[in-house]
Amino acid sequence: MKKIGFVLAILTLTLLVTGTTFAAKNPTTIVTNDDNSSGNTATVFAFNAKTGAAKQKVVLTTGGTGIGGGFFAAHDVSITTTKACVYVIDTGSNDIAAFTGPAGKYAKVGNYTASNSLWDYDGGALALAKDGKALYSANSASENISEWTINSDCSLTHANDYTPSGGADLFGIGLAVSPNGKYLLVSSADYGYVETFTVNSDDSLTDVAPYYFNTFSQCSSGCYPAGTVVSSDGKAIVVGNASVGQNIMFGAAVSATGKITKQTVISLTSNPQLTNPEVPILNASAKGMAQGYMGMSGYGSSYPGGVTSFTLNEKNLAKTKINSAVSNTSSADGYYGTIRNMGTWVVQASYPNTISAFQIKGTKLGKQVNSSDAQGVGLLSLEVF
């Protein structure tokens, strides 16, 4: 099957803070991967919850290079849950740059490489083990998953590499650690599966099985599992679909050990009709329901992007309700990436250098505020804390 990259009609993207994406309570800081091929940076912004504006605080020079693009749904920035360490993938120079967190004034620690952890123009992704002692990377060029040990000074030591049993792929389109920390999910867009790995007590991984999302009638011309999020109660997952051909996403039930069942197609019909549903996030679950948002990545002027709001019904996934959709026109190229919840706003990375914020109004989204990322060259990913 043809590989999926930034220059094709089906896509995804790159950055991260944790492996789960249900909303933290009122984050105040945004970190971008500017993805500059001439000399990469990550930029730290203070977010104003009253106005929706993001103000630059610190520019972190990674010492490596980016690629200026990549997968729409991937995460290539990670921040440990204690906020002690920050990690940024340099997909152009094949390294992970490490920094101390805000308490350490974002001091540079080093750049870390491994011969079997390689990226290319399809980008990559990071996910953090729940105990904060390991980092996982999805590697598009070496087509595998790597495990890195996080040392006390934020430096990294390469530990292991894994190839999912469903088949080697670009990997980077979706990578998520469960809220209970017991398993890692890896999306394969080309082969239509989400693979489960058990996270062992030492943070090593054991492959469990691939679970397929491309066997529905709506997928006769292809479905491509993308960004993945696990509900906070650990009972359901939402999976994006890296396609401009169908306006659908997927839901499924998931066990405490990561076994996926009841795969379900969920229509994303809306007005306005947005396209390329790649980046799901969820608020905390309550009574089997969870407010969610799907980052619609778009694809140029013919395929509009933005954010679609939905209410996930964990007990009956087919009854998930689509609440509203809001277009994003801030990208001259029409490409949109990672979304995150700031408490009263949803922020979206807008290629190549804009952070878009949408004010939350109940189950809908309202006013849009755009802030420039002066260092942004291939901004498709951001993370918040």
Eight-state DSSP code of residue 283 = P
* DSSP E strand boundaries for 329-363: 336-341, 345-350, 354-361
For 167-226, the DSSP string reads ------S-EEE-TTSSEEEEEETTTTEEEEEEE-TTS-EEEEEEEE---SGGGTT---EE
- Tell me which residue of 333, 178, 326, 160 sits closest to 256, measured CA to CA: 178
- Is the pLDDT at 330 greater than 90? The verdict is yes
- Is the pLDDT at 6 greater than 80? The verdict is no
pLDDT at 262: 98
Into which CATH architecture does domain 29-384 fall?
A: 7 Propeller (2.130)
- Give percent above pLDDT 70 in the chain: 94
- If phi > 0 it is left, if psi is from -120 to 50 it is alpha, else beta; for residue 182 that is alpha
**What value does the mean pLDDT take over residues 181-186?**
98
Question: pLDDT class for 21, splitting at 50, 70, 90?
Answer: low
pLDDT in tens, 52-64: 999 999 999 999 9
**What value does the mean pLDDT take over residues 253-279?**
97
- Helix, strand, coil percentages (3-state) for the chain, rounded to 5, are 0, 50, 50
**What value does the mean pLDDT take over residues 204-232?**
96
Residue count of the chain, please give it.
385
Please, which residues bridge with residue 156 across strands?
Answer: 150
- Is the pLDDT at 126 greater than 60? The verdict is yes
- Is the pLDDT at 33 greater than 50? The verdict is yes
- Is the pLDDT at 224 greater than 80? The verdict is yes
Of 110-114, 118-122, 251-255, 362-366, give the lowest mean pLDDT range: 118-122
pLDDT in tens, 237-258: 999 999 998 999 999 999 999 9
97: amino acid identity, one letter:
A
Question: Where exactly are the structural domains of the chain?
Answer: 29-384
Question: pLDDT class for 4, splitting at 50, 70, 90?
Answer: very low
The structure tokens listed for 46 are 């203070």
The structure tokens listed for 52 are 């929706």
- Is the pLDDT at 17 greater than 60? The verdict is no
- Is the pLDDT at 2 greater than 80? The verdict is no
**What value does the mean pLDDT take over residues 158-176?**
95
**What value does the mean pLDDT take over residues 162-184?**
96
pLDDT in tens, 155-165: 999 999 999 99
Q: What is the pTM of this model?
A: 0.94
Question: pLDDT class for 24, splitting at 50, 70, 90?
Answer: low
Q: What SS3 state is found at 236?
A: strand
In whole angstroms, give the CA distance from residue 143 to residue 137.
11
